[in-house]
Amino acid sequence: MFTGFIFIGFLVFSTFDWLQCTYQAHEDECSVGIMGNVYIVDLSGMQQINEDTGTSRSVRRTIVEPLKKPSPGDWQKDERAVALKEDPSLSSSFTQALFGVLYEVFNSMVSLD
Fold designation for 1-64:
3.30.720
pLDDT 10s digits, 37-83:
888 889 889 888 999 999 999 888 877 677 677 777 776 677 877 88
3-state secondary structure of 7: strand
User: What are the residues facing 37 on neighbouring strands?
Assistant: 34
Domain residue limits, the chain: 1-64, 67-113
Q: How many CB atoms lie within 10 A of CB 20?
A: 14
pLDDT 10s digits, 5-20:
444 334 445 667 777 8
Q: Annotate 21-66 with DSSP letters as a single string.
A: HHHHTT-SEEEEEETTEEEEEETTTTEEEETTT--EEE------PP
DSSP letter assigned to residue 3? B
Widest CA span in the chain: 53
Would you say residue 105 has pLDDT above 80?
no
